[in-house]
């Protein structure tokens, strides 16, 4: 994960994101999926904006129209994930609408985010700060994760759960407040990770 990007990393991230959606990563498939899948379109534009912002030439040329287009997609699809957010490879947005992620959050590779998810910062208290989400994490519809907490690798956060405490690896969390109900993790929810 990084918040700067070279061309090889850009290509790798977009290909891994695409593979998570359709199990293929060719450029023809990429164009088709870009125009038919809002989740992939948003994540691809997010990666492109970071790449363009990182390099001096593109920062003063193509960055501004791409940032405008990215903002337009944010409004159209109801997704607010700043392009500077640290997100690993294989990012998957299952359904768009009502997704908000704090720009200081870090998300590992092969994360699935569903509609209605909020990942935000806590502004006071012992958990003041932003979450760190591990690798291979499934976040169900309507889940809320906030504060300076760590969600371990391979976790599954159930629909409408509210999580404000650390979650160990391979846990399944449900409820308000979130409680761990098993150690089966995200197995079966995260697929196409062999890119």
Separation of alpha carbons 154 and 121, rounded Å: 22
Q: What sign has the CA pseudo-torsion 80, 83, 85, 91?
A: positive
Q: What sign has the CA pseudo-torsion 20, 46, 40, 105?
A: positive
The pLDDT score that the predictor gives to residue 3 is 63
According to CATH, the superfamily of the domain at 7-182 is Hexapeptide repeat proteins (2.160.10.10)
Q: Whose CA is closest to 147, among 126, 173, 178?
A: 126
> What does each of the 195 residues of the chain score in pLDDT, given as a tens digit?
456 788 999 999 999 999 999 999 989 999 999 999 999 999 999 999 999 999 888 888 999 999 999 999 999 999 999 999 999 999 999 999 999 999 999 999 999 999 999 999 998 888 999 999 999 999 999 999 999 999 999 999 999 999 999 999 999 999 999 999 999 999 999 999 999
How much of the chain is helix, strand and coil, in % rounded to 5? 30, 20, 50
The pLDDT score that the predictor gives to residue 1 is 47
Q: What sign has the CA pseudo-torsion 83, 77, 19, 170?
A: positive
Phi, psi of 176 (to 5 degrees): -130, 110
H/E run at residue 118: strand 118-120
The pLDDT score that the predictor gives to residue 61 is 92
Give residue limits of the domains in the chain: 7-182
The pLDDT score that the predictor gives to residue 20 is 97
């Amino acid at each position: 994960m990084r918040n700067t990007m070279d061309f090889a990393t850009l290509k790798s991230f977009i290909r891994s994101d695409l593979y998570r959606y359709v199990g293929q990563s060719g450029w023809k498939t990429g164009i088709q999926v870009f125009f038919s899948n809002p989740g992939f379109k948003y994540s691809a534009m997010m990666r492109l904006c970071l790449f363009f912002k990182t390099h001096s030439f593109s920062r003063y040329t193509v960055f501004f129209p791409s940032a405008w287009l990215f903002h337009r997609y944010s409004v159209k699809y109801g997704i607010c994930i700043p392009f500077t957010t640290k997100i690993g490879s294989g990012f998957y947005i299952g359904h768009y609408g009502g997704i908000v992620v704090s720009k200081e959050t870090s998300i590992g590779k092969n994360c699935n985010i569903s509609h209605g998810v909020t990942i935000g910062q806590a502004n006071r208290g012992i958990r003041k700060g932003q979450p760190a989400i591990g690798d291979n994490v499934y976040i169900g519809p309507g889940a809320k994760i906030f504060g300076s907490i760590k969600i371990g690798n391979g976790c599954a956060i159930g629909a409408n759960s509210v999580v404000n405490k650390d979650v160990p690896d391979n846990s399944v969390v449900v409820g308000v407040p979130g409680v761990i109900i098993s150690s089966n993790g995200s197995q079966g929810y995260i697929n196409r990770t062999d890119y």
